[in-house]
Chain A
Amino acid sequence: SQKIEQNSEALNIQEGKTATLTCNYTNYSPAYLQWYRQDPGRGPVFLLLIRENEKEKRKERLKVTFDTTLKQSLFHITASQPADSATYLCAPSDSSASKIIFGSGTRLSIRP
């Protein structure tokens, strides 16, 4: 069955450092991979999407890579700030995008 694993349940890093979150998937051949941010008690918010034929995507301090051979996506936040503290979810999807399954998320804490 399809499985999505995000590297760790929680990640604590110092302000200013780069946070790197991992998303591994099995039994999947996604056309896209999306990343979302979720704050406590709120709905997830879309951050970035990368297509299977793209190696890397950037948006301001965010960078996503997608390795279809390793079946892995990496999500980087550079120059991290306490405001970046949240849970980050990855979601591979096929081209129909009619059933988007989420990983369990990584809770990121940035300490001043």
Chain B
Amino acid sequence: KAGVTQTPRYLIKTRGQQVTLSCSPISGHRSVSWYQQTPGQGLQFLFEYFSETQRNKGNFPGRFSGRQFSNSRSEMNVSTLELGDSALYLCASSPSPGQKNTGELFFGEGSRLTVL
């Protein structure tokens, strides 16, 4: 079974630009969560999607947005990039909610964004 795939793995942008990151979850997983990881702040929750609906959102400005498609693939977008947006962006998928789902997350390798 293929794992969570994130693209691109590395990218460099300049301030003011926008970026779109992509995540393909494990086959059959319908929940996708996004996290930002920086050395100073650790893993910060961005948002979670299930069946194309955003169920939860973290404390990030509106420049950070996301969406999920009918095939469960997800994208996140950051507009008007700032230097502080440099981070490792991690996507994680988990099985559908239900009694047997305990929320175990399967992470991708991340997209490392550098803003210059």
Q: Which of B68-76, B79-87, B105-113 contacts A (4 or more CB under 8 A)?
A: B105-113
Given known A-B contacts A34-B104, A97-B97, A98-B55, A42 and B109 have beta carbons under 8 A apart = yes
Out of B42, B45, B102, which one reaches A32, CB within 8 Å? Answer: B102
Inter-chain CA distance A60–B2, complex, in Å, is 26
**Number of chain A residues close to chain B: CB under 8 A:** 24
**Number of chain B residues close to chain A: CB under 8 A:** 28
List residues of chain B with CB within 8 A of the CB of A34. Answer: 102-105
Asked whether B110 lies within 8 Å of A101 as measured between CB atoms, the reply is: no
Asked whether A43 lies within 8 Å of B102 as measured between CB atoms, the reply is: no
- Residue A28 lies at the interface, judged by CB distance under 8 Å to chain B: no
Asked whether B50 lies within 8 Å of A105 as measured between CB atoms, the reply is: no
List residues of chain A with CB within 8 A of the CB of B4. Answer: 43
Inter-chain CA distance A96–B108, complex, in Å, is 22
Asked whether A101 lies within 8 Å of B45 as measured between CB atoms, the reply is: yes
Within 8 A of B (CB), among A77-112: 89, 91, 93, 96-105
Show the binding face of B for A, using Cβ within 8 Å: 4, 31, 33, 35, 42-43, 45, 48, 50, 55-56, 58, 88, 90, 92, 94, 97, 101-110, 112
Show the binding face of A for B, using Cβ within 8 Å: 32, 34, 36, 41-46, 49, 51, 89, 91, 93, 96-105
Q: Which 10 A-B pairs have the closest CB atoms?
A: A97-B103, A43-B107, A99-B56, A102-B43, A104-B42, A98-B55, A93-B103, A98-B56, A46-B104, A32-B102
